[in-house]
Amino acid sequence: MTTTATGARTATTGTTPGPRGLDAERVSWSVGGRLILDGVDATAPAGAVSGLLGPNGSGKSTLLRVLAGVQPPSDAGARVAFDDADLLGLGRRKRARVLALVEQEASTDLPLTVLDAVLLGRIPHRSLLAGDSDADRAVAHRALATVGMTAFAEREVTTLSGGERQRVHMARALAQEPALILLDEPTNHLDVAAQLDALRTLRALAEDGVTVLAALHDLNLAAQTCDHVVLLSEGRVVAAGDVRDVLVPDVLDPVYGVRTEVLTHPRTGRPVLSFELPG
C-alpha cells in the first residue's frame, strides 16, 4: 500500500493485477414483507467516480447500507466483492479498514471536537487499547485540510452548520483511508462552490485509485463528475454504464416522470440536462 496526497491508501502497482473495484450481485433487502431492493446487480470500477442515481425512495440509501455491511441482505444469494474480497464475509473491523460510509444524516450529537470526530476514522487502524498516535493526528489534520475545515479543528461538532458537518463527515471518512468510499448525498447542505469542491475531492480520490460510489440527486452534478452511473427505480437497476449512455431522455423520462433535454457542454463535452414536467 502507498499513501497519497489525499490520504488514500492505494494498491501499489507491480506485476499483480490492478484493483477491480466493487461488484455486487443479487442484492435484495426487504422490511415488513416489502421488497425494497430486488436483486440489484451494481458495479463501481476502481479509479472511477460512480454515481448511484434514482428518484426518492428508489433504494439508494438502502443499497449503500447493505454494501457497507450496516444491514445484511435478506437473500443468501447476494454477493458483494471488492477487489475479489468478499465484503459481506469480512468482520466489522476488517471491513472498516477497507471501506468508509458517509451517511446522509450521520449522528453528530456527541460532544466531540471536530478533530476528535475525525480521529474516530482512525479507530479501525490501531489496536483496541491504543490512543491516537502522532501519525493518526497527522492523518486527521490532513483530512481536515482536504475538506477546508482546518480552522474548525477545536470547535464542538454540535455547533457547526449543516454544510460544515457534512465536511466533517467527509473528513472522518478520509481519515479512515479507505480503498472504497460509499457516500449518501455528499453534496447535501453544501453551497455550489462547496459541492464542486466535494466532488473534486472525490475525483482526486478516484485518481489515487480509490473506488468511489456516491448517491446523488443532482443529475447535472452526476453528469459533470461521474464516469459510471447506476440508475435505480423501485429497488431495481434500470440502467448502468457511462453517463453519456444513461443520462438520456429515453432512460430518464420514464423513471423520473419528466421530459429531459440533453445539451453538450461546449468545453467538457459532458451532458448538461434540463427538465420539465410533461403536458
Provide the pairing of β-strand 22-31 with 34-44: antiparallel
Binding residues among 4-33 for ligand ATP as defined by CB under 6 A: 31
Selection from 28, 20, 40, 25 nearest residue 82 by Cα: 20
The nearer residue to ligand ATP, 15 or 56, going by C-beta atoms, is 56
For 190, the grid coordinates are 453544501
Taking the complex as a whole, the smallest distance from the CB of residue 158 to ligand ATP amounts, in Å, to 24
Three-class SS of residue 74? coil
Pick from 28, 43, 62, 233 the residue near ligand ATP by CB under 6 A: 62
Binding flag, residue 66, ligand ATP (CB under 6 A): no
| Rama region for 267: left / alpha / beta (φ>0; ψ in -120 to 50; rest) | alpha
DSSP structure string for 172-239: HHHHT--SEEEEESTTTT--HHHHHHHHHHHHHHHHTT-EEEEE-S-HHHHHHH-SEEEEEETTEEEE
Place of cell 490520504: 7
Taking the complex as a whole, the smallest distance from the CB of residue 263 to ligand ATP amounts, in Å, to 25
Provide the pairing of β-strand 271-276 with 259-264: antiparallel
Taking the complex as a whole, the smallest distance from the CB of residue 31 to ligand ATP amounts, in Å, to 4
Binding flag, residue 61, ligand ATP (CB under 6 A): yes
Counting residues that bind ligand ATP (by CB under 6 A) gives: 10
The nearer residue to ligand ATP, 115 or 214, going by C-beta atoms, is 214
Q: Name beta bridge partners: 86.
A: 81
Binding flag, residue 59, ligand ATP (CB under 6 A): yes
Taking the complex as a whole, the smallest distance from the CB of residue 227 to ligand ATP amounts, in Å, to 21
The nearer residue to ligand ATP, 62 or 187, going by C-beta atoms, is 62
Binding residues among 29-58 for ligand ATP as defined by CB under 6 A: 31, 36, 54, 56-58
Segment near ligand ATP (CB under 6 A); pick from 14-22, 60-68, 132-140, 244-252:
60-68
**Site residues, ligand ATP (CB under 6 A):** 31, 36, 54, 56-62
